[in-house]
């Protein structure tokens, strides 16, 4: 639970918080579960959605889903940041009976009254609140004096060089970039950052090539997952990945194969990403191969 907010308000972004939430869920007998995103950006934009989907599955397996109302509360105007994915994910929430509350800017958490209160006066009551607190950069960045109001370093979105300090390059969660703060993004950034550091040492022009590429799986429950692949300019689209037609993984569609891919990614993380090895067939710059454009989807 979060300090000072009692036993009904929890988070899963720390080890202690996750353990406390697991214990709370084990003894949860019914009521309203509110899954709440406080404000953007967050460490991974799909993690709260995964929690909502998996909570639905958990309560079904415990044969108590009819005693639990799940509410997904977000400051966004839809379930996700981009329209095509928002439609898919919003439909999945609806199919699972998860109520979506949008454009909700939380003014406070009334722990005693067990309700979220927005700046426009709307209230969302809860028996158990699982919130995603405001994501901020590390205190080390604040002490450096290079930070913005959220302790991130203002960064050139394509070269990854600090906007204010020519001898500083920035990667991952330290940046203020609009790309997802996820491990795949840091990996894709690292390939370009290495080259640009070498260019800077040689006093050569930097390569403005990072395109905001992000790639991640979204667990949807029932041993299925969605795969999304997008960048600054191209939102998550349906199609096949990493190869056109043959895939084998479908984009923006729940599948067993995507779930297995997410499980396999654990091995990839420890044995490839942490060792700075390139992942075959997944370049740092996003490929449009296999993706279906919105006009094709609408047609």
Domain ranges (residues) in the chain: 9-132, 139-201, 214-298
* Burial letters 45-61, b for 16+ CB under 10 A, else e: bbbbbbbbbebbbbbee
Q: Three-state DSSP class for 197?
A: helix
Please count the helices (runs of H) and the strands (runs of E) in the chain. Answer: 7, 12
pLDDT of residue 299: 42
Q: Three-state DSSP class for 35?
A: strand
Q: Are strands 9-10 and 31-37 parallel, antiparallel or unpaired?
A: unpaired
Burial of 160 (0-12, 13-18, 19+ CB in 10 A): buried
> In the chain, which residues have pLDDT < 70?
1-4, 294-299
What is the token pair recorded at 33? Answer: 């579960």
What is the token pair recorded at 232? Answer: 């600054």
Instruction: Provide CB contacts within 8 A for 170, sequence distance 6+.
Output: 153, 155, 160, 161, 162
* 219 beta partners: 225
Burial of 213 (0-12, 13-18, 19+ CB in 10 A): buried
**Nearest Cα to 239, choosing from 231, 224, 227?**
227
Q: Running DSSP on this structure, what letter comes out for residue 172?
A: G
pLDDT of residue 4: 58
d(CA 225, CA 73): 22
E-assigned strands of the chain? Answer: 9-10, 31-37, 68-73, 98-101, 106-110, 115-118, 123-125, 128-132, 214-221, 224-230, 239-243, 247-251
List own/partner pairs for 147-151 with CB under 8 A and 24 or more apart. Answer: 148/176, 150/176
pLDDT of residue 1: 60
8 Å CB contact between 211 and 233: yes
Query: What is the rounded average pLDDT for all residues in the chain?
Result: 93
pLDDT of residue 183: 84
What is the token pair recorded at 40? Answer: 């953007």
Torsion sign (Cα): 31, 8, 137, 102 = positive
Residue located via tokens 């950052």: 193
* Topology classification of domain 9-132: FAD/NAD(P)-binding domain (3.50.50)
pLDDT of residue 278: 78
């Amino acid at each position: 639970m979060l300090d000072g907010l009692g036993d009904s308000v929890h988070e899963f972004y720390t080890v202690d918080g996750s353990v406390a939430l697991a214990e709370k869920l084990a003894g949860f007998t019914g009521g309203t579960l509110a899954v709440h995103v406080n404000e953007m950006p967050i460490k991974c934009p799909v993690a709260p959605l995964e929690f909502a989907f998996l909570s639905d599955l958990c309560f079904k397996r415990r044969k108590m889903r009819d005693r639990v109302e799940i509410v997904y509360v977000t400051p966004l105007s839809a379930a996700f940041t981009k329209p095509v994915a928002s439609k898919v994910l919003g439909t999945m929430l609806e199919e699972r009976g998860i109520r979506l509350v949008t454009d909700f800017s939380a003014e406070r958490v009334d722990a005693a009254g067990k309700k979220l209160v927005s700046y426009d006066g709307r209230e969302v009551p809860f028996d158990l609140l699982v919130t995603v607190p405001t994501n901020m950069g590390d205190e080390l960045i604040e002490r450096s004096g290079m930070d913005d109001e959220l302790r991130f370093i203002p960064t050139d979105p394509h070269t990854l060089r600090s906007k204010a300090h020519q001898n500083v390059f920035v990667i991952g969660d330290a940046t203020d970039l609009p790309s997802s703060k996820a491990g795949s993004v840091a990996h894709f950034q690292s390939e370009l950052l290495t080259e640009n550091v070498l260019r800077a040492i040689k006093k050569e022009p930097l390569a403005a090539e990072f395109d905001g590429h992000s790639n991640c799986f979204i667990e949807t429950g029932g041993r299925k997952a969605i795969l999304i692949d997008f960048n600054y300019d191209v939102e998550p689209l349906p199609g096949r990945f990493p190869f056109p037609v043959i895939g084998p993984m479908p984009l923006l569609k729940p599948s067993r194969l995507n779930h297995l891919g997410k499980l396999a990614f654990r091995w990839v993380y420890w044995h490839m990403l942490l060792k700075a090895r390139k992942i075959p067939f997944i370049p740092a710059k996003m490929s449009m191969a296999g993706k279906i454009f919105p006009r094709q989807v609408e047609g």
